[in-house]
Amino acid sequence: MLNEIEEFRAYTELPIYRATSKRDTTYMGRFTLDMILNFNGLARVLTILARGYLFADPDENPRDKIDYARQALCAWCSVPDKKKASPKEDWQFKSDFKELHGEFPELVDENGVGWFCRHVHNIARFMKNNPDSVSKTAYDKADIIDKEFDAAWRKKVVQFQVPIFSQGTSGAWILRFDDVLADVLELGSLRNNSIDLPDGVLKRIEELRPVKVPLEVIRILVAYYLANKQEDSEWVVLPVTNFDAFFGSTMFSKKWLPTIPESIILRKKERLGVARYRLNPALVNEK
């Protein structure tokens, strides 16, 4: 979560499909079942992707490459049309971007299967072929993912392309490529935000943390806050679903995060896999 460059690679390079135990979710990569079934957490994924492509060349003006970054998002999200699908009219948004294979061969193949679509089906295949290495919950979802993902994802990809001010939009909180690209221009290039916390802060965390919450979890939360805090607000957006994916377990959202005391962080209510949080000032200011 701190090294955005490493995170970008996790969304664009070939994942490792393996599991040494039912608790090992290496085969999921930086994704969770919630991200696959409910599409929570994708705002951060798409933002990381777009930043990686928009700012790949520091000598180029990123505002001249917005269409290029949008095409990269389309390629990554691509899902093939149904075999009997009617041809799209020029005014209709589509979800199959096989024509972008030449520009983004790492993101979409010649058949229109985008990186995410391919990864999801590889996950489902791994779960079905390795029932002894995945949780029962995951195994039970494999067939559902294989049969229902493409149709749901097609609708989502079309939704991503709806203009911000479209009069026909009925959803108030839908995610759009336009929103992602606007955020990307403000956030800038990908960064490695890994930092070493002062010994005094680490000591204070160790004194305050619940026994069942790993020190590393709180250390990363504190470092993430310090790296992402804006000058005009004490609050930072906490992508809870993406933290689950990073730690490879929903233990983060279900067990660890709820038990972290307010003497360390203060947190707003989570919604759709996202919350806001801030550090207790005493944690970093106390001498």
Q: Which residues contact 263 (CB under 8 A, 6 or more apart)?
A: 208, 280, 282, 283
DSSP SS3 for 274: strand
Contact (CB, 8 A) for 49 and 180: no
Answer yes or no: CATH 1.10.10 is held by domain 199-285. Answer: yes
Which stretches of the chain are DSSP H helices?
4-10, 33-38, 42-54, 66-77, 115-129, 136-160, 177-187, 199-208, 215-228, 240-247, 251, 257-259, 281-285
What is residue 94's predicted lDDT score, i.e. its pLDDT? 93
Quick one: which of 30, 19, 39 has its CA closest to 126?
Answer: 19
Residues forming CATH 1.10.10 domain(s) in the chain: 199-285
What is residue 95's predicted lDDT score, i.e. its pLDDT? 96
Q: Which residues contact 21 (CB under 8 A, 6 or more apart)?
A: 133
Both ends of the chain: CA-CA distance in Å?
Answer: 28
User: In this structure, what is the dihedral angle of CA atoms 253, 258, 260, 266, given to the nearest 10 degrees?
Assistant: 100
DSSP SS3 for 282: helix
Stretches in the chain below the pLDDT threshold 50: 91
Contact (CB, 8 A) for 7 and 197: no
What is residue 201's predicted lDDT score, i.e. its pLDDT? 94
What is residue 87's predicted lDDT score, i.e. its pLDDT? 65
